[in-house]
């Protein structure tokens, strides 16, 4: 067979020379290598205290966005559910009642909005499909859990905090990937 | 009663008891372990007689090396009470006679011993210390010493020849 | 001859000393496990335990607690008595060696002079040798009593390995003894604190002793009795809970003691390097110097323990035939040669 790379090396099966049989020089060389590594900088990142920077295209947990006045953007049009290749999104629409104008931006809103995080493949197609910029993927992981039920995220898990009432939490949850509007 | 006496009796009981265990116990591994204990007790007696070299050499050579080999062989063969061959009647008979003869000789020998006039030097005496022992061995008894080492050498050569594959 | 009205102060002094030495060796062994994890991590570009306490310093306690909490399993087909006896023996023989190592010269408490050595017997080295040769029983009994073929195989390996390397170790020590003329470890240290360390007079002897110490403590590259990937952890495969802990602990205590022994025999023991201890006593007082001496000894021990670990995380395990070849055809002839040369040199010097 023709060699695919020029890195292959034939195994040397000659009997060991006296120098090699002494083991010690080679051992000393190896110990030098390990000692060098002993003093090298460690690439470990202490996870909860330090985190690795996310890349700009990282797609993590979904966020249901609000507008500047704190109203939900989602109108339950269902385009995200249609776009979802993993069929992870379920929703139920409802009509906005009188006096709920400060809660929902449009006349129709999502009464129930669920994403099954075990099905989701974090492709970001829902984000692309959304005409209202109501959903986007942020820079967070899905935390581990013990039951399958707990991986079905409802509206309370997905909705971003109110920018008017809780501006600090809102800024924290917003992340880098939110559309600047 | 002083400490030496207490130790002496303790070691004596230990030595005789574990020596009996060597014979009595059915499991050969227990026998070997009891034998090791016996060696320890006897070494303790050496120490009481201030024979330090004998004490430690008994431990190193017998308890530390030879008994390890015994144990080694026993563990490899993995003997237990099921694999024990059934003894024939005449074997038991012969054993009783042989044991009785040994007892007779021992009793006869011990009867003549004048135990009152000889005292063991307990905790004193320096003939057991390494320096004195070495000087005696290499000054007064060089020839027997070297001859015995040649004996060992020939035994070793013999073992190698026997063990060598043809 | 001592009467039953025993010298109580003597007894008390020794009891305190023994407890202190045992406690120190246990703590040292405990923190060797922490150090081992740290050293291993740093050599593999990791940082090791950091969570339990500052820098993971409480990790050994956590490990110990974990071992205590684990279920105690005694296999049905095992020999129960010997199964329990094995770890105890391993631990006991590991601890016994520390009796003759001088940890420092002496301290003065009021009028009383307390020697920092449990027993200064004039067969010190032979005593250590005897106890080390006992060490194999813990492994053998434990391995056999488990009634498991891997354990048995490991026990037999361990026994033959230890017997083989004991010989070379003994021969290396004999060469040293020709120079010292004494078997008392205290005398050997005293000789070194006034003259050269024996390492400079016996470099080959030290090398042989070092290799044999690795083999005797079952450390990599000679850890064949517990070869993880061929024998499923070897002789302590069936052990769990603190009985397993005892075996693991005994290994670390062995390492600590052999480091102390190497420091004592070849690197001046409690001798403080580069200074004259006797002069220091005159200017600083006995107790301060004793503290310094203990610190010096522990510094040397620490370096040796680090060396043990450094080697472990560098060199792969030997194959069994390589081990035996090295022991019988490499180490023993070398040790004999070393002995002959030393004897010739002594003869020439004294002639």
Give tens-digit pLDDT for B17-53.
999 988 888 778 888 889 989 998 998 888 888 788 8
Rg (C-alpha) for chain C, rounded Å, is 21
- Give me B63's structure tokens: 């308890």
Nearest to C1 among B36, B75, B123 (CB): B123
Give partners of C (≥3 CB pairs < 8 A). Answer: A, B
Mean pLDDT, chain C, integer: 83
Q: Which residues of A108-134 are buried (b: 16+ CB within 10 A; e: fewer)?
A: ebbeebbbbbeebebebbbbebbeeeb
Q: Are the C-beta atoms of residues C105 and C167 closer than 8 Å to each other?
A: no
Q: Are the C-beta atoms of residues C88 and C58 closer than 8 Å to each other?
A: no
Q: CA of C36 to nearest chain A CA: how many angstroms apart? A: 13
Range in A60-64, C197-201, C225-229 with the lowest mean pLDDT: C225-229
Residues of C in Cβ contact (< 8 Å) with B63? 130, 133-134
Residues of C in Cβ contact (< 8 Å) with A46? 50
- The answer to whether A18 faces chain C, any CB pair under 8 Å, is no
Q: Are the C-beta atoms of residues C275 and C184 closer than 8 Å to each other?
A: no
pLDDT band for position C187 (cuts 50, 70, 90):
confident
**Is A74 assigned a ligand-binding role in the annotation?**
yes
Residue C57 CA to residue C37 CA, distance in Å, equals 11
- Give me C193's structure tokens: 């604190």
Residues of C in Cβ contact (< 8 Å) with A30? 314-315
Q: What are phi and psi of C75, to 5 degrees?
A: -60, 145
Residue in chain C nearest A48 by alpha carbon = C51
Q: Which residues 272-331 in chain C show a CB within 8 A of chain A? A: 310-311, 313-315
Nearest to C35 by CA among C304, C315, C331, C338: C304
Cα-Cα-Cα-Cα torsion B44, B49, B52, B53, nearest 10 degrees, comes to -100
Q: Three-state SS for B31?
A: helix
Residues of C in Cβ contact (< 8 Å) with A44? 46-47
Q: Three-state SS for A176?
A: coil
Tell me the DSSP string of A84-109. -TT--EEEEEEEPPTT-TTTBSSSEE
**Is A1 assigned a ligand-binding role in the annotation?**
no
Domains in chain A: how many in total?
1
Q: Do A44 and C315 touch (CB under 8 A)?
A: no
- Give me B33's structure tokens: 């372990």
Residues comprising chain B, all counted? 166
Residue A104 CA to residue A113 CA, distance in Å, equals 14
* Residue to substitute from B63, B71, B78, B133, interface C, most C β-carbons within 10 A: B71
**Is A54 assigned a ligand-binding role in the annotation?**
no
Q: Are the C-beta atoms of residues A84 and A69 closer than 8 Å to each other?
A: no
User: How confident is the model over C112-161, as pLDDT tens digits?
Assistant: 777 777 777 778 888 888 888 888 888 888 888 888 888 888 888 888 88
Residues of C in Cβ contact (< 8 Å) with B72? 140, 156, 159-160
Nearest to A34 among C46, C50, C313 (CB): C313
pLDDT of residue B87: 67
Domain residue extents for chain B? 3-128, 129-166
Q: Is the pLDDT of residue B125 over 70?
A: no
Q: Are the C-beta atoms of residues A65 and A136 closer than 8 Å to each other?
A: yes
Tell me the DSSP string of C133-182. HHHHHHHHHHHHHTT-HHHHHHHHHHHHHHHHHHHHHHHHHHHHHHHH--
Give partners of B (≥3 CB pairs < 8 A). Answer: C
Long-range contacts of B35-38 (CB under 8 A, 24+ apart): B35/B67, B35/B70, B36/B63, B36/B67, B36/C137
Q: What are phi and psi of C110, to 5 degrees?
A: 65, -120
Q: Give this prediction's pTM.
A: 0.80
Domain residue extents for chain C? 8-350
Q: Three-state SS for A63?
A: strand
Look up the CATH architecture of domain B3-128. Answer: Up-down Bundle (1.20)
Establish, for the pair of chains A and C, how many residue pairs have beta carbons separated by less than 8 Å.
Answer: 31
Structural domain boundaries, residue A143? 62-174
Q: CA of A176 to nearest chain C CA: how many angstroms apart? A: 31
Cα A44 to chain centroid distance, Å, stands at 20
Sheet hosting strand A152-153, strand order edge to edge: A89-95, A108-116, A152-153
Q: Do A34 and C47 touch (CB under 8 A)?
A: no
**Is A170 assigned a ligand-binding role in the annotation?**
no
Asked if the structure places residue A17 within a domain, the reply is no
Interface ipTM? 0.79
CA atoms within 13 A on the CB side of C75: 18
Task: Name the burial class of residue C55, with classes exposed (0-12), middle (13-18) and buried (19+) by CB atoms within 10 angstroms of its CB.
Answer: middle
Q: Do A43 and C44 touch (CB under 8 A)?
A: no
Q: Do A35 and C310 touch (CB under 8 A)?
A: yes
Q: What are phi and psi of C128, to 5 degrees?
A: -60, -40
- The answer to whether the bond into A107 is cis (omega within 30° of 0) is no
Nearest to B3 among C6, C134, C136 (CB): C6
Residue in chain C nearest A34 by alpha carbon = C43
* Residue to substitute from C8, C89, C126, interface B, most B β-carbons within 10 A: C126
Nearest to C272 by CA among C177, C189, C181: C189
Tens digit of pLDDT at every position of chain A (181 positions): 677 788 888 888 888 777 777 778 888 888 898 888 888 888 888 888 888 888 888 888 888 888 888 888 888 898 999 999 999 999 998 988 888 888 888 888 888 999 999 999 999 899 889 888 888 888 888 888 899 999 999 988 888 888 888 888 888 777 777 765 4
Q: Are the C-beta atoms of residues A95 and A84 closer than 8 Å to each other?
A: no
Q: Do A30 and C314 touch (CB under 8 A)?
A: yes
Other C-beta atoms closer than 10 Å to the C-beta of B154 total: 10
Residues of C in Cβ contact (< 8 Å) with A37? 42-45
Q: CA of A117 to nearest chain C CA: how many angstroms apart? A: 30
- Give me A172's structure tokens: 């924290």
Number of helices (H) and strands (E) in chain C: give both, helices first: 14, 2
Residue C304 CA to residue C260 CA, distance in Å, equals 8
Q: Are the C-beta atoms of residues C233 and C226 closer than 8 Å to each other?
A: yes
Other C-beta atoms closer than 10 Å to the C-beta of B33 total: 23
Q: Which residues 156-175 in chain A show a CB within 8 A of chain C? A: none
Residue C165 CA to residue C153 CA, distance in Å, equals 18
Q: Do C46 and A37 touch (CB under 8 A)?
A: no
Asked if the structure places residue A102 within a domain, the reply is yes
Nearest to C47 among A35, A37, A42 (CB): A42
Domain CATH code at residue A136: 3.30.70.3270
Cα-Cα-Cα-Cα torsion A103, A106, A108, A113, nearest 10 degrees, comes to -60
Number of helices (H) and strands (E) in chain A: give both, helices first: 6, 5
Q: What are phi and psi of C108, to 5 degrees?
A: -110, 120
Q: Do B53 and C163 touch (CB under 8 A)?
A: no
Residue C61 CA to residue C26 CA, distance in Å, equals 12
- Report the alpha-carbon angle C84-C89-C94, nearest 5: 140
pLDDT band for position C2 (cuts 50, 70, 90):
very low
**Is A29 assigned a ligand-binding role in the annotation?**
no
């Amino acid at each position: 067979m023709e060699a695919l790379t020029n890195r292959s090396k034939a195994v040397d099966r000659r009997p060991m020379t006296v120098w090699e049989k002494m083991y010690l020089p080679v051992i000393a060389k190896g110990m030098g290598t390990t000692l060098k590594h002993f003093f090298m900088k460690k690439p470990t990142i202490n996870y909860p205290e330090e985190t690795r920077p996310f890349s700009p295209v990282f797609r993590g947990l979904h966020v249901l966005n609000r507008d500047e006045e704190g109203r939900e953007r989602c109108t339950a049009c269902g385009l995200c559910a249609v776009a979802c290749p993993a069929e992870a999104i379920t929703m139920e629409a409802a009509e906005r009642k009188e006096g709920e104008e400060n809660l929902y931006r449009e006349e129709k809103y999502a009464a129930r909005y669920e994403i099954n995080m075990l099905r989701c493949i974090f492709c970001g197609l829902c984000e692309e499909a959304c005409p209202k910029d109501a959903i986007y993927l942020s820079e967070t992981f899905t935390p581990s859990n013990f039951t399958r039920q707990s991986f079905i995220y409802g509206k309370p898990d997905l909705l971003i905090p109110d920018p008017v009432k809780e501006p600090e939490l809102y800024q924290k949850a917003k992340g880098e990937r939110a559309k600047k509007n | 009663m002083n400490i030496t006496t207490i130790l002496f009796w303790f070691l004596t009981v230990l030595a005789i008891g574990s020596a009996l265990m060597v014979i009595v116990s059915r499991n050969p591994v227990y026998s070997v372990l009891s034998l090791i204990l016996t060696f320890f007790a006897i070494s303790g007696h050496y120490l009481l007689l201030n024979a330090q070299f004998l004490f430690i050499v008994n431990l190193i050579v017998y308890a530390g090396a030879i008994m390890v080999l015994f144990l080694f062989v026993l563990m490899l063969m993995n003997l237990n009470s099921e694999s024990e061959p059934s003894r024939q009647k005449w074997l038991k008979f012969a054993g009783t006679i042989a044991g009785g003869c040994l007892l007779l000789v021992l009793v006869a020998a011990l009867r003549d011993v004048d135990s009152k006039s000889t005292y063991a030097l307990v905790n004193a005496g320096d003939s057991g210390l390494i320096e004195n022992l070495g000087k005696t061995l290499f000054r007064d008894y060089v020839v027997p010493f070297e001859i015995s080492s040649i004996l060992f050498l020939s035994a070793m050569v013999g073992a190698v020849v026997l063990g060598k594959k043809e | 001859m001592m009467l039953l009205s025993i010298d109580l102060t003597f007894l008390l002094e020794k009891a305190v000393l023994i407890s202190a030495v045992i406690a120190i060796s246990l703590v040292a062994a405990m923190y060797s496990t922490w150090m081992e994890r740290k050293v291993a991590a740093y050599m593999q570009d990791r940082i090791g335990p950091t969570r339990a306490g500052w820098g993971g310093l409480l990790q050994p306690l956590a490990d110990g607690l974990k071992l205590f909490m684990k279920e105690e399993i005694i296999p049905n087909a095992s020999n129960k008595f010997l199964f329990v006896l094995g770890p105890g023996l391993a631990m006991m023989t590991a601890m016994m060696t520390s009796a003759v190592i001088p940890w420092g010269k002496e301290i003065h408490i009021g009028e009383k002079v307390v020697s920092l050595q449990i027993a200064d017997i004039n067969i010190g080295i032979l005593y250590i040798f005897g106890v080390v040769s006992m060490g194999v029983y813990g492994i053998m009994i434990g391995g056999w009593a488990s009634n498991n073929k891997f354990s048995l195989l490991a026990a037999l390996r361990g026994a033959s390995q230890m017997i083989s390397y004991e010989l070379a170790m003994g021969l290396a020590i004999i060469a040293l003894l020709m120079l010292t003329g004494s078997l008392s470890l205290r005398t050997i240290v005293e000789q070194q604190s006034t003259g050269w360390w024996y390492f400079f007079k016996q470099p080959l002897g030290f090398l042989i002793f070092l290799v044999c110490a690795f083999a005797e403590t079952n450390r990599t590259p000679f850890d064949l009795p517990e070869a993880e990937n061929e024998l499923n952890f070897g002789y302590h495969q069936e052990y769990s809970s603190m009985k397993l802990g005892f075996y693991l602990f005994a290994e670390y205590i062995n390492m600590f003691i052999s480091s102390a022994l190497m420091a004592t025999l070849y690197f001046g023991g409690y001798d403080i390097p580069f200074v004259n201890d006797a002069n220091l006593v005159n200017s600083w007082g006995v107790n301060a110097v004793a503290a310094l001496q203990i610190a010096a000894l522990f510094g040397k021990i620490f370096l040796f323990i680090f060396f043990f670990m450094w080697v472990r995380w560098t060199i792969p395990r030997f194959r069994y035939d390589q081990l035996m070849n090295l022991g019988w055809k490499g180490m023993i002839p070398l040790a004999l040669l070393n002995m002959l040369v030393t004897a010739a040199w002594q003869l020439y010097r004294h002639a």
